[in-house]
Amino acid sequence: MAAHLSSGRVNLNILREAARKELRVFLDKCAGSKAIVWDEYLTGPFGLIAQYSLLKEHEVEKMFTLKSGRVPPADVKNVIFFVRPRLELMDIIVDNVFRSVGTLHSSRDFHILFVPRRSLLCEQRLKEQGVLGSFVNIEEYILDLIPCDSDLLSMEYESAFRECYLENDQTSLYHTAKGLINLQALYGTIPQIYGKGECARHVANMMLRMKREFAGSQNQILPVFDSLLLLDRNVDLLTPLATQLTYEGLIDEIYGITNGYVKLPPEKFAEKKQGEGSKDLLTERKKLQLNSAEELYAEIRDKNFNAVGAALSKKAKIISAAFEERHNAKTVVEIKQFVSQLPHMQAARSSLANHTSIAELIKEITTSEAFFDNLTVEQEFMTGIDTDKVNTYIEDRIAQKEKLTKILRLMCMQSVCNNGLKQKVLDYYKREIFQAYGYEHMLTLNNLEKMGLFKPQTSSRNNYPTIRKTLKLWMEDANEQNPNDISYVYSGYAPLSIRLTQLLARPGWRSIEEVLKMLPGPHFEERQQLPGGLHKKRHQGENRTTLVFFLGGVTYAEIAALRFLSQMEDGGMEYVIATTKLINGTSWIGSLMDHPASKAP
Amino acid sequence: MTFITANWNPLGDAFYRKTELYDMCWDLKDALRDCLVAAAPYGGPIALLRKPLRCSPSSRPQLEIYSASGFAITSFPWKSGPLVHLGWTITDELLCIQEDGSVLIYDLFGSFKRHFSMGQEVVQNHVLEAKVFHSPFGTGVAIISGSSHFTLATNVDELKLRRLPEVPGLQGKPLCWAVLVQDRQIKVLLSSGPELYILDDTSCSEVHPPWLSPQAGSIIHMSVSFSYKYLALFTDTGHLTFYSQNKLSEIDTKRSTAPEQMVWCRRPNSQQPSVVLLWDRLLMVAGVCNDTIQFPIEDQCVLVGEMDGVRILSTRSHELLQEVPLVCQDIFKIASMAPGALLLEAHREYEKSSQKADEYLRELKEQSMLEEAVKQCVGAARYEYDPQTQKSLLRAASFGKCFLADFSADPFVETCRELRVLNAVRVSSVGLPLTYPQYPRIFKHLTLQVLTDRLVYRQLYPLAIKVCHYLKIPDYHGVSRVLRHWASCKVQQKDLSDEAIAKAVCAKVGDSPGFSYSHIAAKAYECGRAELAIKLLDFEARSGEQVPLLLKMKRSHLALSKAVESGDTDLVYMVVTHLKNEMNRGDFFMTLRNQPVALSLYKQFCKLQEQETLKDLYNQDDDHQELANYYVAASYREKRMDIRLSLLQSAVDEYNKAKNDFAAKATEDEMRLLRFQRKLDEDKATELLGLSLQATMEALLALGFHKQAEQLYRDFKVPEKRYWWLKLKSLAKKEEWEELEKFSKTKKSPIGYLPFVEVCMKRNNKYEAKKYVSRVMPEQKVRAHLAISDLEGAADAAIERRNESEIGIVLSRCAASDHLLIERLNRARTSTVKK
């Protein structure tokens, strides 16, 4: 199921296997048949670790979603709650437990599995409510870094950025540090740690501290990673705001990829299923898994969308040529050989059909005037044109009642590219939002201001042009078809975060000290002592491996840019990417908004 | 050593031998009779409960603990309730199961550790019988109560009682029973008369062993092997039946009384497994092969099952009965010609400086059996208990090894090292008679530390440390653990001062990796030595470890700063909630103020759980901005309008105090809008409340309240552009084309006239749309013409503007039939490019 995880430079399947083993051990602790009650948020991430078959092997017979009321009847010995350590979830569990008292199934055993960590606060809540004693097992399942693809790890911790920068709650960083320590236990101590940003510094400090605490349990594994780069999202606020222009990036921007799956409008896919009740098919969105296990997808996902069409038609030719082969197959041996390749070819053909459909869907949008206009404004901001006055396009879009997240994305982008906006401009925009979308967004705007995304200009100097020029963030002649620079992922804009990563590998950050000082937070370098004998003997021409950890989220376009760097022939560096959450501008801004008008906090 | 086979007894085609482990140094006289005995497997300690000497009601039985070699470790009078059973855990703790179902746990030195109960029901009904068993889950206890109910505790360290289902028709205790581990589940097998039942957590099922001959009678004794894979049943007709998955064989012992003890005797890869039965004066080894060996015995004995044999304890001696391993048979069997035997002989001759050595060696080499011979000698050495025999075998192996070109010495070296450790712990003063097969079992498969732990439990610290060093166990698992145990003993020494102990511990431990000072500090605190605990805590590197203890010791401030330092937010929360309960509100807030991280975490908590407290916190900090935001958020949670407005008024006041004029003004606007909406809703029965300003105006326009919309537009200083858009769209939606035209002429449109064209087209009204095309600004002309599908017009506009990209756009919209137009456009394009 997860062969693709081991295909990369670093075998991430080891991590997955370790996580699966943990899960089995826990399930076996609860002897007998089981029902799992899921905190719905966890089902996605868990899907990347274990399918239902594994649970079934361990006598899990029923699965429910956690909600108030009674746990649905099921003839099982154990009821296990898989939950995040959150107080509001504890209240639901309490309700569940109370309501099962005195029912037919009151002899059932209850268990809780906290993911990723148990919390005293939650246990205390259970105790206050008088149900703590009802649980036979209360354990934690340490699931920090979840392997999403052969070179990608995510904590799927949605609120990390908000918590760190808005609420001064560094829980996510603690989990990050713990996750990295666990990672090192499997893949060896990472000898060098680089970082930029407050959070990066904090994580590195915690890592070093934890290592001291466990001093003596010397890790005897040959290090797989040569270095770790910790990057704060707030060092580069601009990149996630821009519309991603890679294939995968656009799928995410338009349809949203969650835990490796995308749900697509069914119309384009319906016709291929013949004979089935086509009406039902039309109503349900088509769910597709997207990862490097699919050969074609691995090939095109990181391309600029403008290069995808050509790649698809080339692939189509190859596949139809392969099918044509059957006419040349004369002897029995040849026919047998052809037949043996059929499943693979058919898979390739259906994959091609899927992606052709997706590409058509996306093309309808990218060729629209609205998309073009939006992109033009984004590019104007990024190149520093007219960032200091009220933008008419934004005004227009507000008048047209464009989605608020989209408006905020553009406004924040303008503010970031101008290093803050003049008070007059800022107030004008704010008033526009209040009047058109409601005064309740006062709190959201307040949040964005606190996080430096949408703020008043404090100094008269705008650093952004300097940073842009020094780091070559804008490339006039970005080659979308055969890229020679990372700027292809945004058709001109080279993501700042990735530029920093690239420059760290060569020629090193010393060359850009001045710019680094303009970006928020400290930059640093730490070494971790390796036990003797574990120093890698490097072969001639062997690439080094860096783990790049984005604290606060990373976009698919940034990942594409790093993959591009990994593939550069003279790069000498390969990257594995880790993050608190895979984001895009919309989901990111969405996570920073407050909705006082709706009930749920 | 010449007569190494002297104690071998044939059983089928294998041999059994009894090796003397120790001459017991205890002085028990007849005491093994009529007393409770428990001996732990893996050569563990022995516990005895001796009946009082005089039978007066005031006299107490004596509980005595001995090492496997009979060294008295401790002895004390038993003052608690009557005991039913004694047993040992895998960590050398003594379980004393009382009649009333309570289980008392003592350590090796007889100090009480803790206790638990096997359930309320047993208190009245009493325990009839109890068994202690070992499984992959740990050490467990099983009991049967007077009401014939079985209760299980799978692991005494993680106590969970399981009451097993009722056995139909069972009165009192069954004839015999045993605990088994099957499919990761603990089950009980029991015999009640002719029936055999198996009990698991949920069901009781009768087993009809088709393999049990009907005339065999009732089962009166049963034995499960160490590995839980073999079973032996003894019936009242004297038949003994062996099973693994299926029946293996059956033997008639010709004895109808139940044996006192019946224990499986087998080893991994056993040739001839057997069951050892003990009667009053007879020890019988009954092999699966139907053969038996009988040993007459004079003394009272106790059998202890091991994974590779059976130990026989008596008042005088301690013996190991086991099947002779194949490799030892090969070497030592009389007249054996096995390669190992030849090599051993060769070496013997060599030591005598005899040339025969060469002959033997040649023979081995010619048949290329030398390597095999070396392996055999190394292998056999592992199984021999006597160091002299080990030595001669290893010497022979070492001798043979010299004549082999590429032979890996690792197994040889490893064996020497391991045997050295084994011999060291086997000596009588230590008394751990571990065999080689047991050694990897406890040492490698379970965990690395078990052997050292066992030494540590016996307080043999120097030996334990030596073993750790000798085996190169990483400090973390080895020496540190030993030191930890040592230190926790040390802090309990009452005759030493705090200072002296802290010094001694620190001197010995230093910063040994993995050593937990807080663990020791906790121990010290338990013993009532708080000062010592604090001294020790200072050495602790892990704040996560310090915090709980500091809290316990009421050093809250220190605990809070340590928690913050660790970065573990859960730990911070723990301290914060602790402080909250402990301090008055004022002190609590002050304490938090000094710890910003803790404060913001607490605010987070309040946001979700205690909104009111949040307000107090902001108030205390004079944080007007946040306080204002708080009121804003609160206003949305409130349904009643007057309260809502008063909350917003509070927000305005706070924004003013925070000198945030803009936000104050915006909030005032919000209140104005709310009031406006409320009024209109009341007067005109509209449903405006809660809409944004824009939506309100939109609704007003849609309802035809143009005047009110106009009023809002002016009062709220809505930008002209946006209002024009709004009006434009509203009119188009209602298809009031005349109004639209009138509106377009009120003044010069701030949004240009392209939107007019577009809204008309959206309603498919080309006629109206055309009216506005001429008024569109030049740079949007092309778009306007295209919008109404007027290619000619678009082409004219583009050519007039000489704009290459616009020409391109028009071209892309042309159909192939428009060749005249295409030509014109192409011409124009070339001329533009030229210029």
Domains (ranges, CATH) in chain B? 31-169 (2.130.10.10)
Q: Which of B567, B577, B607 sits opposite A121 (nearest CB)?
A: B577
Of A366, A385, A409, which closes a domain?
Answer: A366
Per-residue pLDDT band for B763 (boundaries 50, 70, 90) equals: confident
Of B118, B120, B168, nearest to B144 by C-alpha is: B118
A393 close contact with B: CB closer than 8 A: no
ipTM confidence score: 0.87
Contact A217 B596 (CB under 8 A): no
Q: Which residues contact A469 (CB under 8 A, 6 or more apart)?
A: none
Q: Mind telling me how many Å the CA of B774 is from chain A's nearest CA?
A: 22
Chain A residues in contact with B692 by the CB 8 A cut-off are 434-439
The span from the CA of B699 to the CA of B713, in Å, is: 13
Q: Which of B184, B635, B718 sits opposite A28 (nearest CB)?
A: B184
Quick: pLDDT tens for A103-116.
Answer: 655 578 889 999 88
Q: Is A197 inside a domain boundary?
A: yes
Please give the share of chain B, as a percent, with pLDDT higher than 70: 96
Chain B residues in contact with A400 by the CB 8 A cut-off are 725
The span from the CA of B272 to the CA of B291, in Å, is: 10
Q: Which of B571, B662, B722 sits opposite A427 (nearest CB)?
A: B662
Q: In what order do the strands lie in the sheet with A60-65?
A: A60-65, A34-38, A78-83, A109-114, A135-140
Can you tell me the mean pLDDT for B547-576?
87
Quick: pLDDT tens for A156-181.
Answer: 988 899 999 998 889 999 999 999 99
B694 close contact with A: CB closer than 8 A: yes
Q: Which of A120, A213, A597 sits opposite B574 (nearest CB)?
A: A120
> Please, which residues 194-223 of chain B have a Cβ atom closer than 8 Å to chain A?
201-202
A377 and A347 in a common domain: no
From A91, which residue of chain B is nearest by alpha-carbon distance? B609
Per-residue pLDDT band for A218 (boundaries 50, 70, 90) equals: low
The pLDDT of residue A103 is 65
- Evaluated on CA atoms A154, A160, A164, A168, the torsion sign reads negative
Are B3 and B331 contacting, i.e. CB atoms less than 8 angstroms apart? no
> Please, which residues 233-272 of chain A have a Cβ atom closer than 8 Å to chain B?
none
A120 close contact with B: CB closer than 8 A: yes
Can you tell me the mean pLDDT for A582-593?
94
Can you tell me the mean pLDDT for B411-429?
87
Q: Is A508 inside a domain boundary?
A: yes
Q: Mind telling me how many Å the CA of A336 is from chain B's nearest CA?
A: 45
Contact B574 A121 (CB under 8 A): yes
Q: What are phi and psi of B61, to 5 degrees?
A: -70, 160
Per-residue pLDDT band for B446 (boundaries 50, 70, 90) equals: very low
**Tally of domains within chain A:** 4
Contact B666 A431 (CB under 8 A): yes
The span from the CA of B729 to the CA of B698, in Å, is: 9
Name, of A226-235, B526-535, B552-561, the range with top average pLDDT: A226-235
CB atoms within 10 A of CB B462: 11
A142 close contact with B: CB closer than 8 A: no
From B201, which residue of chain A is nearest by alpha-carbon distance? A32
Can you tell me the mean pLDDT for B232-247?
84
A-B Cβ pairs (cutoff 8 Å, strict): 143
Structure tokens at B459: 């307080």
Q: Is A252 inside a domain boundary?
A: no
The pLDDT of residue A425 is 94
The span from the CA of B59 to the CA of B569, in Å, is: 57
Helices (H) then strands (E): counts for chain A: 25, 15
Quick: pLDDT tens for B140-149.
Answer: 999 998 888 8
The pLDDT of residue B620 is 85
A109 and A160 in a common domain: no
Q: Which of A124, A431, A596 sits opposite B636 (nearest CB)?
A: A596
Can you tell me the mean pLDDT for B309-323?
89
Ramachandran bin of A533, using left for φ above 0, alpha for ψ from -120 to 50, beta for the remaining angles: left
Cα-based angle A385, A390, A395 (whole degrees, multiple of 5): 115
The pLDDT of residue A600 is 37
Chain B residues in contact with A168 by the CB 8 A cut-off are 596-597, 600-601
A30 and A120 in a common domain: yes
A458 and A414 in a common domain: yes
Q: Is A471 inside a domain boundary?
A: no
A111 and A47 in a common domain: yes
Pairing mode, strands B127-135 and B138-145: antiparallel
A312 and A362 in a common domain: yes
Are A315 and A352 contacting, i.e. CB atoms less than 8 angstroms apart? yes
Cα atoms in the 13 Å half-sphere on the side-chain side of A151: 21
A119 and A8 in a common domain: yes
Quick: pLDDT tens for A539-568.
Answer: 666 788 999 999 999 999 999 999 999 998
Q: Tell me: pLDDT of A73 over 80.
A: no
A40 and A128 in a common domain: yes
Contact A442 B632 (CB under 8 A): yes
Q: Is A265 inside a domain boundary?
A: no
Quick: pLDDT tens for B483-507.
Answer: 888 888 888 877 888 888 888 888 8
Three-class secondary structure of residue B536 per DSSP? helix
The domain spanning residue A10 has which CATH number? Answer: 3.40.50.2060
A401 and A324 in a common domain: no
Of A168, A171, A195, nearest to A450 by C-alpha is: A168
A176 and A130 in a common domain: no
Per-residue pLDDT band for A283 (boundaries 50, 70, 90) equals: low
- Which residue range forms the structural domain that includes residue A31? 3-143
Contact A32 B201 (CB under 8 A): yes
A75 and A105 in a common domain: yes
The span from the CA of A552 to the CA of A172, in Å, is: 9
Pairing mode, strands A544-551 and A286-289: unpaired
The domain spanning residue A310 has which CATH number? Answer: 3.90.830.10
Of A143, A176, A193, which closes a domain?
Answer: A143
- Evaluated on CA atoms A339, A345, A347, A353, the torsion sign reads negative
| Average pLDDT score over chain A | 88
Q: Mind telling me how many Å the CA of A278 is from chain B's nearest CA?
A: 32
Chain A residues in contact with B573 by the CB 8 A cut-off are 119-121
The pLDDT of residue B445 is 39
Q: Is A225 inside a domain boundary?
A: yes
B596 close contact with A: CB closer than 8 A: yes
Q: Which of B574, B690, B722 sits opposite A395 (nearest CB)?
A: B722
Per-residue pLDDT band for B215 (boundaries 50, 70, 90) equals: low
The pLDDT of residue B297 is 86
Of A335, A366, A397, which closes a domain?
Answer: A366
Q: Tell me: pLDDT of A2 over 80.
A: no
Q: Which of A120, A168, A217 sits opposite B597 (nearest CB)?
A: A168
Can you tell me the mean pLDDT for B410-439?
85
Contact A216 B476 (CB under 8 A): yes
The domain spanning residue A210 has which CATH number? Answer: 3.40.50.1910
Q: Which of B604, B633, B667 sits opposite A169 (nearest CB)?
A: B604
Quick: pLDDT tens for B628-654.
Answer: 999 999 999 888 999 999 999 999 999
| Crossing angle of helices B706-715 and B693-703, rounded to 10° | 160
How would DSSP label each residue in A105-124?
TTT-EEEEEESS---HHHHH
The span from the CA of A206 to the CA of A195, in Å, is: 13
Chain B residues in contact with A443 by the CB 8 A cut-off are 629, 632-633
CA-to-CA dists, residue A553 to A237, A320, A454, A548, angstroms: 11, 40, 19, 12
Mutation test of the interface with chain A: which of B516, B570, B721, choosing the one with the most A Cβ atoms within 10 A? B570
A168 close contact with B: CB closer than 8 A: yes
Q: Is A264 inside a domain boundary?
A: no
Pairing mode, strands A573-579 and A544-551: parallel
Mutation test of the interface with chain B: which of A435, A443, A598, choosing the one with the most B Cβ atoms within 10 A? A435
Can you tell me the mean pLDDT for A33-54?
89
Q: Tell me: pLDDT of A460 over 50.
A: yes
Contact A119 B570 (CB under 8 A): yes
Contact B722 A214 (CB under 8 A): no
> Please, which residues 175-194 of chain A have a Cβ atom closer than 8 Å to chain B?
177
Q: Is A223 inside a domain boundary?
A: yes
Chain A residues in contact with B576 by the CB 8 A cut-off are none
Q: Which residues contact A414 (CB under 8 A, 6 or more apart)?
A: A381, A387, A391, A394, A421
The pLDDT of residue B443 is 46
Can you tell me the mean pLDDT for B24-53?
81
A106 and A33 in a common domain: yes
The domain spanning residue A432 has which CATH number? Answer: 1.25.40.850
Contact A167 B567 (CB under 8 A): no
Q: What is the dihedral of CA B448, B452, B456, B462, to 10 degrees?
A: -140
